[in-house]
Amino acid sequence: MIEKLLNLLKDPRSAIAGWIIALGPIWVYTPLFLIVFIETGIVFFPFLPGDSLLFAAGVFCAEGGGLDLWVTLIVFWAAAILGNTSNYWISRWFGHAIIDSGKVKSMTPERIAKLDGFFKKYGAFTIVITRFMPFLRTFAPFVAGMGHMNFAKFTLFNVIGGISWVCLFVLTGYFFGSIPFIQDNFSLIIIGIVLVSCIPAFWGLIKAAVEKAKARK
C-alpha cells in the first residue's frame, strides 16, 4: 500500500492509465472520487495528491484519453464538496476528542490554534482560499466545524471553492496536458504543481514568523 501511494504521488498519470485499463470506462471514476473525497474529507489523509491527480485526470479527458471531461468534473466536484462537508461534521462531533487523543501528530493544539486564528481573521473566504493549499485544505473545514461555523455559510463557500479548485486543475490538464514538453517532463510538471500549490502556505508561515519576530522586538 505504501509503495502504491508513493507511486501515485510520484506519477498519477500512470495510476490513472492503469485504472482505465483495469476498471473500464465507468468504474475508473471510483478511485478518482475516493482519493479526492478522502483527502478533503478525512483529516488523517492530508498528504494524498489532490492537485496533481486533478491535473493528470484532465490530461486523460482530452480526445482519446479514456475519460469524459464533464463526467470527470462532476465526479471531482462531488468528491470535493462532499469531502469538505464530511470533514466539517466529523469535526463538529469528534474534533476535540481527536485532538486531545494526540494520535494525529500533525494536529497539535498549537497548530490548530494558529489555523483557527487564520480562519477567524479571514472568515468564510478561508474555505475558498485553502482549497488551493495542500494540507491546509484538509484542516480548514475541520477548524470550521470546531468553531461551529454556520453550516449554510460554510456550504456556500465550500461549493464555490470546490468547483473553482477542480475546474482550475482539470481544465489546465485538459487544455495544456497534450503539449509535447509537458508529456516529456510530466513528473517534473507534477512536482512543479505541488510546489506552486504550497507557495501560499509557505508565504503565510514566513509572514507569521516575521510578524512574531517584530512583536518580540
Q: Encode pLDDT of 152-176 as tens digits.
A: 888 999 999 999 999 988 998 898 8
Candidate ranges 28-42, 88-102, 110-124, 190-204; pick with highest mean pLDDT: 28-42
pLDDT band of residue 208 (cuts 50, 70, 90) is low
pLDDT for 1 beyond 60: no
Cα dist from 2 to 36, 37, 133, whole Å: 18, 19, 23
Check whether 202 has a pLDDT greater than 80.
no
Structure confidence at residue 193 as a pLDDT band (50, 70, 90)? low
Average pLDDT rounded to a whole number, residues 9-30: 85
51-68 pLDDT, tens per residue? 888 988 999 998 778 899
- The dihedral region occupied by 91, where left means phi > 0, alpha psi between -120 and 50, and beta the remainder, is alpha
- Give dist(CA 192, CA 46) in Å, integer: 18
Q: Identify the CA nearest to 177 among candidates 165, 197, 193, 198.
A: 193
DSSP summary character for residue 66 = S
Is residue 39 scored above 90 in pLDDT?
no
Domain boundaries, the chain: 2-209
Query: Residue 81's pLDDT is what?
Result: 95
Q: Which residue has the cell 490530461?
A: 59
Given this model, what pLDDT does residue 176 score?
84
Q: Is 48 helix (H, G, I), strand (E, B) or coil?
A: coil
Cα three-residue angle 107-38-58, rounded to 5 degrees:
125
